[in-house]
Amino acid sequence: MKLLQWTLFIDMLGYKNINGAIDSKEKALELINFMKENAEIFQSQDSQKRKELYLQEEFDLYEFYEPKYCFVSDSLIISFEPKEVNRKERFKDEFLRHSANVAIIIMMRLVVFIFKCY
């Protein structure tokens, strides 16, 4: 069985104007570095240390999901792709709770990104 898939498309409002205002190599590098830092936020959220912490929790995100992130121009795409899980017992009862857990995890991770962009 699989849990619900979560996919978000986030337009970074105002950044289209910043992209369009690049008129020098320095400004281009500044924007590239900013976007690399944004990508690092999401990469660090899936570090080995974080994965080990989830093993100690009641809900192990990485047992059920494969998180994926992608920046396209001034937009962010987040997808938590569900994994096939061979659990029949109680899985039906846990289905909505685990799916909702992931929605909360996504929102918590977005807070860091939003704060950085702000």
Confidence (pTM): 0.78
- Residues 63-73 have pLDDT tens digits of 999 999 988 87
What pLDDT does residue 100 have?
86
Distance (Å, whole) CA 8 – CA 73: 15
pLDDT digits (tens, 9 = 90+) for 44-56: 888 898 889 888 8
Residue 29's CB is within 10 A of a number of other CB atoms, namely 11
pLDDT in tens, 97-114: 888 889 999 999 899 888
